[in-house]
Amino acid sequence: MAATHYVVTNNLSASDPYTSWGTAGTNLIEVVNAAQTNTGAKVIWVTNGIYYLTNQVTVSSALTLQSVNGRDVTIVDGNNYPGKAVTNRCFYLTASGTVLDGFTITHGYNIDKDGTGGGVYCTAGTTVKNCRITGCVATNNYTYPPWNDPVIHGAGIYITGGVLTNCEIIGNTNYNYGASVYAGAATVVANCTIASNKASKPTVSYDEGYGAGICADGAGTVVQNCTIYGNNTSDGNYGGGVHVRAGAIIRNSLIYGNSAVNGGGIAMYPNGSSPKISNCTVVSNTASLQGGGIYVFLRTGQTSCVENVVSYFNTCVNGSSNIYFFSDQLPYHYIVNSCIAPTNAFVTTGIGGYYYANNIEVNPQFAGKDTGDWRLTQASPCVNTGTNETWMDGAVDLDLHSRIDRFSGIVDMGCYEYLMRGTMFSGR
């Protein structure tokens, strides 16, 4: 039988198993533990308030944990503040079918040899939606020289094989490898804002820092309809906004104002199968070394795929600002129907092969470059010049307009479709 449990901040009549508002529990962990004794469907309703933790909330039996009135007024606080010794993450979700819906998750802290998920840790089949994850940290207490390669993933959230949707992941810090969001194989990240996160190296001798915004890592992983901005891995290495690898796909997303040593906006980096960037707008990103917009580093047998992308107005110190290729082996590069300047920066020697077609390098004519409006104008050469793909059928752009307009039937470059304006008359 289904079981419904309730959580409030104060209740002198709280009574296990907390199955009414009158007997609602005040300790989130105790209510979750009580709910998990039931083998049927389980729902836990949490009303307004701040819920301070002294340990992580562990969900090992599928349930739905949902706020009554949303993330703005329902806060789960990991209790990690200066001067306190609390070092727990907030949520540890390992049961397929678990849903976490409508919370602000803050001050989570995970410190161990392989630090993962400062705010939330999720495994296959879990869903996190309508949440705000902020002010969380992932690091380690492991003494190492560089060759021991500690792995630290996801200061805000580590999720693999699950769904992260309609969330804000803002202001988290990861002290080494990984990102504020780490999305492992077969994960979907959709309709999220990922902003002002930092990935940095913990020591002078250890120089890795990958994907301050998001690290998308694994076949079947899709990041779509996201806005990714203001993330920084400037004292690390690769991918201020996005680090994409191992067959992951980044599409229909706006990536701007991020910074890194290499790949201020996006770094495509080797690890297994080939990654893809599709219908993204990559603008106003900065690299202190190479590839302000996109940095491509692949190895033999791997293909970088860039399709319907606008990469423009990015800056770097060395090489091409909007896309930069580095390889010590023989990959294959595929760039089509994209607006990237200059096109003569596309590498043609010292690689396994390439296919470049229908690319342009002229100004994309944004609606408001100086005001941060990266939508296309009617005069833009990026309008009706993309390549249609099957995923676009029924899909929408970042403004929720049809991804393929019904007039031209051809997709635009970048993450926005130009919407024709005017008056439509219907005759008899």
User: Which tokens hold the place of 420?
Assistant: 């024709």
Angle at 231 between CA 377 and CA 248, to 5 degrees: 80
- Does residue 73 lie within any of the structural domains? no
pLDDT (tens digit per residue) in 355-402: 999 999 999 999 999 999 999 999 999 999 999 999 999 999 999 999
Contact 328, 357 (CB under 8 A): no
Could you count the other beta carbons within 10 Å of the beta carbon of residue 50? 12
User: Which of 84-88, 220-224, 307-311, 379-383 comes out lowest in average pLDDT?
Assistant: 84-88
Dihedral of the alpha carbons of 266, 272, 274, 276, in degrees to the nearest 10: -40
Asked if residue 42 belongs to a domain, the reply is no
Q: What is the largest CA-CA distance in the chain?
A: 79
Would you say 383 and 375 are in contact if contact means Cβ atoms under 8 Å apart? no
| Pairwise CA distance, residues 168 & 182, whole Å | 14
Residue 1 CB-density burial (10 A; 0-12 exposed, 13-18 middle, 19+ buried):
exposed
In this predicted structure, the answer to whether residue 48 has a pLDDT above a threshold of 90 is: yes
Query: What pLDDT, on the 0 to 100 scale, is given for residue 301?
Result: 83
The answer to whether the CB of 178 falls within 8 A of the CB of 155 is yes
Give the pLDDT score at 424.
47
Domain limits for position 161: 78-392
The reply to whether 369 falls in a domain is yes
We report the CATH number of the domain holding residue 173 as: 2.160.20
User: What pairs with residue 159 in β-bridges?
Assistant: 122, 183
- Residue 260 above 80 pLDDT? yes
In a domain, 274, yes or no: yes
Phi, psi values for residue 51, rounded to 5°: -115, 105
pLDDT of 149? 53
Separation of alpha carbons 77 and 280, rounded Å: 34
Residue 36 belongs to some domain of the structure: no
Residue 145 pLDDT exceeds 60:
no
Structure confidence at residue 147 as a pLDDT band (50, 70, 90) = very low
- 159-184 pLDDT, tens digit each: 999 999 999 999 998 876 667 899 99
Q: How far is 282 from 269, CA to CA, in rounded Å? A: 17
Question: Which helix H or strand E contains 35, and what residues bound it?
Answer: helix 28-35
Distance, in Å, from the CA atom of 32 to the CA atom of 17, rounded to the nearest integer, reads 10
* pLDDT in the model for residue 423: 47
Per-residue confidence (pLDDT) for residue 141, from 0 to 100 = 59
Residue 370 lies in a domain: yes
Provide the mean pLDDT of the chain. Answer: 90
On whether residue 5 sits in a domain, the answer given is no
Condensed to tens digits (0 to 9), the pLDDT of residues 182-213 reads 999 999 999 999 999 998 766 555 556 788 99
Please check the confidence at residue 221 and state whether its pLDDT lies above 70. yes
Is residue 56, in this structure, part of any structural domain at all? no
Beta bridge partners of 290: 262, 318
Query: How many domains does one find in the chain?
Result: 1
